[in-house]
Amino acid sequence: MLSPRRRVGYAAAMECCQTEQWRAALSAIIDGEDPAIPRVQVDEHLAQCAACSEWFDRAQQQAVGVRALPGPRHDLTDMLIGVTEAHICSCHTGGQCECTNCACPTCTCHDVAS
């Protein structure tokens, strides 16, 4: 069923000429962020653009579904920092090898530990 807002602009073309701009604003609204476009302008656009209105309705439904999924509800940043090490040995950039006890699968200066 079409929302009242979508019925108004349903006869409009199904393509929006500024999709990226409007969808970024709509996505921000869904995420509770500032849309960077005044909300009244967003609402006016949704009333006139069937394509964006339909996209917004689908995106809102998907966001509700994703938020309802079971899973961690806390910030995982502290758990992830330090889990991986990103080190590029100088031997990969033409310098002197700095590898000690290397287990890097791309190391070309030592036998890789199995």
pLDDT at 30 (0 to 100): 94
- Whether 13 shows a pLDDT value over 60: the answer reads no
Segment 26-43 mean pLDDT: 93
Token couple for 54? 């339909």
Give the chain's end-to-end CA distance (angstroms, integer).
60
Instruction: Find all residues with CB under 8 Å of 104, minimum gap 6, and list them.
Output: 89, 112
Rounded distance between C-alpha atoms, residue 35 and residue 2, angstroms: 24
Tell me the percentage of the chain whose pLDDT exceeds 90.
36
Confidence (pTM): 0.52
Segment 101-109 mean pLDDT: 61
**Residue 17's pLDDT band (cuts 50, 70, 90):** confident
**Residue 5's pLDDT band (cuts 50, 70, 90):** very low
pLDDT at 2 (0 to 100): 42
Integer CA distances (angstroms), 39 to 8, 9, 13, 20, 86, in order: 18, 18, 22, 16, 43
pLDDT at 48 (0 to 100): 92
